[in-house]
Amino acid sequence: MNVQAWTFVLVGLSFALYIGIAVWSRARSTKDFYVAGTGVGPLANGMATAADWMSAASFISMAGIVSFLGYDGSVYLMGWTGGYVLLALLLAPYLRKFGAFTVPDFVGDRYYSQTARVVAVICAIAVSFTYVAGQMRGVGVVFSRFLEVPIELGVVIGMGIVFFYAVLGGMKGITYTQVAQYCVLIFAFMVPAIFLSLMMAGTPIPQLGFGGVDPSTGVPLIEKLNGLHTELGFAAYTSGAKSTLDVFAITAALMVGTAGLPHVIIRFYTVPRVRDARLSAGYALVFIAILYTTAPAIAVFARTNLLETVRDAPYAAVPEWFTKWEETGLLTFTDSNADGLIQYVGPDAVDAAGVPITNELTVDRDIMVLANPEISGLPDWVVGLVAAGGLAAALSTAAGLLLVVSSAVSHDLLKRGLRPDISEKGELIAARIAAGVAVVIAGWLGINPPGFVAEVVALAFGLAASSFFPVILLGIFTKRMNREGAIAGMISGIGFTTAYIVWFKFIDPAANTADNWWFGISPEGIGTIGMLINFAVAVTVSRFTPPPPRAVANMVEDIRVPRGAREAHEISA
Amino acid sequence: MLGGMSNSTPNGPRPAAAPDRGAYWRINLRYLAVLLTIWFAVSYGAGILFVEQLNAFTLPGTSFPLGFWFAQQGSIYVFVALIFVYVVLMNRLDRRFEVDEDEGEVGRAASAPDGEAPA
């Protein structure tokens, strides 16, 4: 069997599995649909959370980003894991005790305000749609590259699968599909990593391999890569180019953003008890850490491999994968000095006479994971497996995000807003219709991706960091925080963050350089400042406005202890 | 609306009196302060602020520059450990203050095993 046949078989099998699970786990009530009936065990929830969280970006792009950024890539590794500590310690147990169905549910009830609820609904929908567009694009890329179908058809197939299990099963279907998707994606990520580690470092454990030595020469791998970088005019791999303050701000924005993302938070509503919420955050981070500690190892292996393969290689003799990826436009080579050799060099490169050398090769970072098995000459089935893994990562995250959108519409806007008298059955139908419409919009965004998908991801994290996190945290840890403070805080935090990002990314992109940034903080890290503004405004405003009603103070007392968290609250039941 | 969660203890009287809950909360906050200090120290401290200084050393037994290792590996391992330490500490504290979920109906209703089949 060739690569394509293997890919068809493995992707087909994984899709059949997801559909089977969807049929087996249909949602029968709104509680099933929103929070899987709060019957998910901590281990299963940990796996589902990991798949929910690890998107096409984690699976396809992250190792590549780290590979190109070196030390600076650490912001993603720490930022996208450290947030789970905040979740487990500061948010998850209390939100589970509160027992809501959605994030706007908590914001609306804790701040006794429909305005606060609506602001939260808008944030939740905005964050989720920006995210989901990127997932659908990932699905399209994998399909077009590995199965050689048009991107549009790939997106439609992906949409069909998500539609089936998200609409039918709601959170319940999504949860058990995500458990399966985690298994597929982690297997697909680890197999090539283990092969690579054996090849490059002589050990099957990538985490040890990348701190090891090249078995043929005895030179430490990291030292070897730093050497290659210096020779070719790149900054040393282990030293960064970003300022310390910016690294600090980006890491914080990603951590806090993680803890404030609605599709992650709602996963902790699905477990039976408060203690399960804490424990499942721990399991989730274990499952995530397996991938996140392997990614920097792959980054080092892949970077070394790439540099050694293309460095001054004759273009006529490039391997087959090189040509294949050139066709996708993700790899481009222009022989500016017409010597027939590939000069892949950094900004500081000079030749023997001290004349700067022009770089002739651009490599899209997404290739690093997808092409790795081919670059390293791994068996065909591994390539097919990576395709199935990439799809699992994209689909699982897309489904989680779509659920947030659908519950924001059917629960927060209809049930808790416009149509409080809607029946259980009516709400379930509304939730299914909303999920269906959301899938179609997501698919449309995937087929017609806004040219700025990568940029909006920064916005999604910035928004989550500067809106939800401070408001939820203050809602749990202070009894004095009131409606006025929370609304003022959310609006000023989001307003500042959006304005800063929109300015540098869309209105005046030419000015997007460190010289023009406030305090040297990039748009990726500005969510940290937005969060601080939110905290400061909320606390100040609440001091000059009336304290919350007694019932709210009692509720805060109550969510601080685990006992009594048997069920998610059901207003109508 | 608010009643939905503020009186969510219909299945039994509250055994812990108000002052106990205050003490419970203060101990919880102390745990949080210690654990989050470690969280900050390994990531923002060792991985970012002092990364250059630490890179002068290598992690014993490997060729990792120490600061780089904290930024790309070590901090993540510590994050995992912190959550499990918190789980153990809080389960113990919940039992000590009798605010855990293992009594009576609550415990039984919630004792579904991992990966329980969605009926």
CA–CA gap between residue B69 and residue A300 (Å, rounded):
13
Nearest Cβ partner of B49 from A97, A211, A244?
Answer: A244
CA–CA gap between residue A497 and residue A466 (Å, rounded):
7
CA–CA gap between residue A351 and residue A323 (Å, rounded):
28
CA A416-A420-A425 angle, 5° bins:
100
Q: To which H or E segment does residue A362 belong?
A: strand A361-363
Give burial (CB, 10 Å; 0-12/13-18/19+) of A26: middle
Residue B108 maps to a domain:
no
Q: What is the pLDDT of residues B48-103, one digit of tens each?
A: 999 989 999 988 888 899 999 999 999 999 999 999 999 999 999 998 888 888 75
Residue B63 maps to a domain:
yes
Between chain A and chain B, the number of residue pairs with CB atoms below 8 A apart is 210
Nearest Cβ partner of A566 from B47, B90, B110?
Answer: B110
Closest chain A residue by Cα to residue B62: A211
Q: To which H or E segment does residue A476 belong?
A: helix A468-477
What pLDDT is attached to residue B4? 39
For the cut 80, the answer to whether the pLDDT of residue A292 exceeds it is yes
Cβ atoms within 10 Å, residue A573: 9
Residue B49 maps to a domain:
yes
Residue identified by tokens 């792009």 is: A61
Test mutation, B24, B50, B68, B83, chain A, max A CBs within 10 A: B83
Q: What is the pLDDT of residues A344-385, one digit of tens each?
A: 888 788 777 778 888 888 888 777 787 888 777 788 888 888
Closest chain B residue by Cα to residue A273: B110
Residue B91 maps to a domain:
yes
CA–CA gap between residue A490 and residue A421 (Å, rounded):
29
Residue B65 maps to a domain:
yes
CA dihedral angle for residue A227, residue A231, residue A232, residue A235, rounded to 10 degrees: 60
The answer as to CATH 1.20.1730.10 being correct for domain A3-14+41-303+380-453 is yes
b/e map of A250-264 (b: 16 or more CB within 10 Å)?
Answer: bbbbbbbbbbbbbbb
Of A28-32, A139-143, A403-407, B33-37, the range with the highest mean pLDDT is B33-37
Give the pLDDT band of residue B105 (cuts 50, 70, 90): very low
For the cut 70, the answer to whether the pLDDT of residue A267 exceeds it is yes
Residue B39 maps to a domain:
yes
State phi, psi for A337 to the nearest 5 degrees: -100, 10
**Chain A residue numbers touching B82 (CB-CB < 8 A):** 85, 89
Looking at the DSSP assignment, which residues form a beta bridge with residue B109? none
- Where in the sequence is the domain holding B55, given as residue range(s)? 35-99
In chain A the first and final C-alpha atoms are separated, in Å, by: 56
Q: Where are the domains of chain A?
A: 3-14+41-303+380-453, 308-369
Residue identified by tokens 């281990």 is: A43
Nearest Cβ partner of A292 from B43, B76, B114?
Answer: B76
Interface of A with B in 531-550 (CB under 8 A): none
Domains of chain B: total: 1
When the pLDDT of each residue in chain A is averaged and rounded to a whole number, the result is 86
Half-sphere exposure of A449 (CA within 13 A, CB side): 22
Q: Are the beta carbons of A337 and A343 closer than 8 angstroms? A: yes
Interface of A with B in 6-45 (CB under 8 A): 24-25, 32, 36-37, 39-44
For the cut 50, the answer to whether the pLDDT of residue B28 exceeds it is yes
b/e map of B64-76 (b: 16 or more CB within 10 Å)?
Answer: bbbbbbbbbbbbb
Q: Are the beta carbons of A433 and A196 closer than 8 angstroms? A: no
CA–CA gap between residue A28 and residue B81 (Å, rounded):
38
Nearest Cβ partner of B83 from A43, A85, A248?
Answer: A85
- A522: Cβ–Cβ under 8 A, 6 or more apart, which residues? A242, A246, A249, A250, A512, A514
Q: Are the beta carbons of A519 and A240 closer than 8 angstroms? A: no
What pLDDT is attached to residue A7? 86
